Amino acid sequence: MKPSPALSPSAEPAGEPISFFDLRAQHARLRTQIDIRLARVLEHGAFVLGPEVQEFERRMASYTGAPHAVTCANGTDALTIALMADNIGPGDAVFLPSFTFTATAEAVALIGATPVFVDVDARTFLIDGDDLERRIAAVRKAGALKPRALIAVDLFGQPADYDRLNPLCESENLLLIADAAQSFGARYKGRVAGALAPVSTTSFFPSKPLGCYGDGGALFTTDEGRAAVYRSIRGHGTGDAKYEVVRIGLNSRLDSLQAAVLLAKINVVDDDRAARAALAAAYSEGLADLVMTPITLPERESAWAQYTIQVDRRDDVQAALKARGVPTAIYYPRPMHLQPAYGRWSEGPGSLPVSERLSARVLALPMHADMRPEARARIIEAVREVVKG
Ligand SMILES: Cc1ncc(COP(=O)(O)O)c(C=O)c1O
């Protein structure tokens, strides 16, 4: 198909370059606090699981309201540790949305369990409760696998429907794990992500709502026993005595330098989230009449990790925006059940139609707390121009 004039490249973009995500601006705001924190670590020299890590774990527990917070090396390990601690493995079914980042499914496959992919809602991108119930029933009927867990993903920053998922998982005897990698700081009925399910995990990858300067992750739980097992697994499965190994574990510890960065950054999580929410509101106001904008459900505050619109001829729109100096990203171009690596657990094309349609239509716009009003206006204008054609 020949692109319409608005979809074809235009003249050189005017004005300051627009960043999709701006870590440098955030660092400039926080430089002094971060420098002080980092200098302290260099002074004491306890580089792994040092005092900053303990302090950060206490700080996260009080911020989220989750009784126990345990850090680890990244968000993928956090999911893996959560599954390992409950002895989930071969012969077990773990339900999860197909429209998610690879890591959610990867953790399930790595521990030898069977991922069972579920469809999502077309406007919120969150797991579809009706499809979930159907798939749990189908697995029970088939009888080959034991349903053990659900990983609900707070995609793009919005908490999943925990008022439905918590009782469902209780009655189905499934462990509910909230993958809150993208939703640190989000709220559901006033409660904070991390405290919305018996077990939650998050990621501190630099571009996440709370990001460090490398990799980092954490688990949250209401259960003291589970928290103790998480600490053991992240440290090679050690017991109470030094060099006693009571289970197979991982090397998944958080560096003190990363905890130092996170301690400085957690102080601005709410302000940054409010700035991203204001940007999201401006996008929706400027674009909702032309493109499908994301929906935030009542009584939710999204962390706005991403602002994702849906458009026809998505790849052409992306190219035309790029030509106008507006960077965008596609999260995610393929649902997990259509990824080659997950083929053996998939019913193929057509089996999860909403996830498949979204993968062809989603486009994430620049999203960060330091976006200037001129840049915001340019983005909205460029999207309108390109989509109108
Ligand atoms: C939904 C989701 N789950 C899990 C992860 C894994 O986190 P990490 O990159 O820290 O391993 C990510 C982040 O990339 C994510 O977006």
Q: What is the position in ligand 1's atom list of the atom closest to the CA of 205?
A: 10
Relative to beta strand 191-192, strand 199-203 is: unpaired
pTM of the full structure:
0.96
Q: What is the pLDDT of residue 45?
A: 98
**Average pLDDT score over residue span 191-219:** 98
Q: What is the pLDDT of residue 370?
A: 97
Q: d(Cα 179, Cα 94) in Å, to the nearest integer? A: 13
Statement: residue 141 has pLDDT above 70: yes
Q: d(Cα 103, Cα 378) in Å, to the nearest integer? A: 34
Statement: residue 203 has pLDDT above 60: yes
For the chain, the average pLDDT equals: 96
The one-letter amino acid code at 190 reads: G
Q: What is the secondary structure of 109-141 as a DSSP string?
A: HHTT-EEEEE-B-TTT-SB-HHHHHHHHHHHHH
pLDDT tens for each residue of 302-335: 999 999 999 999 999 999 999 999 999 999 999 9
Number of Cβ atoms within 10 Å of the Cβ of 286: 17
**Average pLDDT score over residue span 256-270:** 98
Q: What is the pLDDT of residue 34?
A: 98
CATH number of 28-267: 3.40.640.10
Q: d(Cα 112, Cα 186) in Å, to the nearest integer? A: 31
CATH number of 5-22+268-388: 3.90.1150.10
**Average pLDDT score over residue span 60-66:** 98
pLDDT tens for each residue of 7-43: 544 445 667 899 999 999 999 999 999 999 999 999 9
Residue whose CB lies within 8 A of the most ligand 1 atoms, among 151, 203, 204, for a mutation test: 203
Q: What is the pLDDT of residue 5?
A: 42
Statement: residue 1 has pLDDT above 50: no
Token pair, residue 322, equals 């790029």
Residue ranges of the domains in the chain?
5-22+268-388, 28-267
Q: What is the pLDDT of residue 15?
A: 78
Q: What is the pLDDT of residue 71?
A: 98
Q: d(Cα 155, Cα 180) in Å, to the nearest integer? A: 8
**Average pLDDT score over residue span 225-242:** 96
The rounded Å distance from CA 319 to ligand 1 centre is 27
The one-letter amino acid code at 140 reads: R
Number of Cβ atoms within 10 Å of the Cβ of 255: 22
Question: In the chain, at which residue ranges do the beta strands (DSSP E only) sit?
Answer: 68-72, 92-97, 114-118, 146-153, 175-179, 187-188, 191-192, 199-203, 217-221, 300-301, 307-310, 362-365
The rounded Å distance from CA 98 to ligand 1 centre is 14
Number of Cβ atoms within 10 Å of the Cβ of 117: 25
Contacts of 81 (CB under 8 A, 6+ apart): 72, 219, 230, 233, 234, 250, 252
